[in-house]
């Protein structure tokens, strides 16, 4: 079954970032290997300054368009409501979409979301006709306020951006999934290995967004393929219903009919 995001049916449950790849060619191959339908693009990649930077930005934008993936602009690096809102409006004008991945960062060290600014920016952008994808924490209260601000989905982190720590608070992620039972939830940030992606999907999350785990790996193309497979495996396992852990051993073979020696 496809995933519905703001009324759009999406088949792939893996979203891919486009920063920090060794080369544009490697990025293009990774997108193809992952078979993603959505890629995130920071407006900062679309340089608006010097002529050579403009040419580089145009080349990058052309590559993204050729990939056939839907673009999800990103307000990465924004530290205030005003900056995030302004960046979102510029992205809509340049990239021709009202989808926006909203980041409002509290500090440059941990790259934690500024949850107060995030909620305010989300409210403004939703009123301005944007479809907001908010990067947030696993705080249930913040999630509720984002929904009240008009968001139709949430993007909680598994761990800080680029850390590769995986599910740093599994219990919090499970509680988040239970609380927002009918809301599309996309894990954003902190996943470093395909096994971690599978674990997240087994909890019932709807999709994953990755960047550093693929782009900074030894072989981005092969890693993109591995993540595609792991996300699918985790989703299938969740739908199938994994067995619950049991203290002690439980025989897998039936006792009735077993040969008995006197």
Q: How far apart are CA 58 and CA 45, in angstroms?
A: 10
Which domains does the chain possess? 12-240 (3.20.20.70)
The confidence score (pLDDT) of residue 48 equals 44
CA torsion, ordered 156, 168, 18, 77, to nearest 10 deg:
70
240 is in an annotated binding site: no
Which helix (H) or strand (E) segment holds residue 131: the answer is strand 131-136
168 is in an annotated binding site: no
Distances (CA, A) of 155 to 27, 135, 140, 260: 23, 5, 12, 57
Which residues participate in catalysis according to the annotation?
A: 101
211 is in an annotated binding site: yes
The confidence score (pLDDT) of residue 51 equals 45
CB 88 within 8 A of CB 120: no
Residue 7, helix vs strand vs coil:
coil
Average pLDDT of adjacent 10-residue blocks, the chain of 262 residues: 89 93 90 94 58 56 81 92 95 92 86 91 97 96 97 93 85 96 94 94 95 93 96 95 76 62 59
Smallest CA-to-CA distance from 28 within 209, 215, 208 is with 215
- Residue 71: beta bridge partners? 39
The confidence score (pLDDT) of residue 58 equals 63
């Amino acid at each position: 079954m496809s995933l519905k995001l703001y009324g759009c049916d999406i088949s792939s449950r893996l979203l891919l970032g486009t920063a920090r790849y060794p080369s544009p060619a490697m990025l293009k191959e990774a997108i193809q290997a992952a078979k993603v339908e959505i890629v995130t693009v920071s407006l900062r990649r679309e340089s608006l300054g010097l002529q050579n930077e403009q040419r580089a930005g145009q080349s990058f934008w052309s590559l993204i368009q050729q990939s056939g993936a839907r673009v999800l602009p990103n307000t990465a690096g924004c530290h205030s409501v005003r900056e995030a809102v302004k960046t979102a409006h510029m992205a809509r004008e340049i990239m021709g979409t009202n989808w926006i991945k909203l980041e409002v960062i509290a500090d440059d060290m941990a790259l934690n979301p500024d949850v107060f600014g995030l909620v305010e920016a989300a409210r403004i952008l939703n009123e301005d006709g944007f479809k907001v994808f908010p990067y947030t924490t696993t705080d249930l209260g913040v999630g509720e306020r984002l929904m009240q601000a008009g968001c139709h989905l949430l993007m909680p982190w598994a761990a800080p951006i680029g850390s590769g720590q995986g599910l740093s608070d599994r219990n919090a992620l499970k509680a988040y999934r239970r609380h927002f039972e009918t809301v599309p939830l996309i894990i954003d940030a902190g996943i470093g290995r395909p096994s971690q992606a599978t674990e997240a999907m087994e909890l019932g999350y709807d999709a994953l967004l990755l960047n550093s785990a693929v782009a900074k790996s030894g072989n981005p193309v092969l890693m993109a393929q591995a993540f595609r497979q792991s996300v699918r495996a985790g989703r299938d396992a969740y739908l199938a219903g994994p067995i619950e852990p049991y203290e002690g051993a439980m025989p897998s073979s039936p006792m009735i009919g077993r040969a008995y020696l006197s």
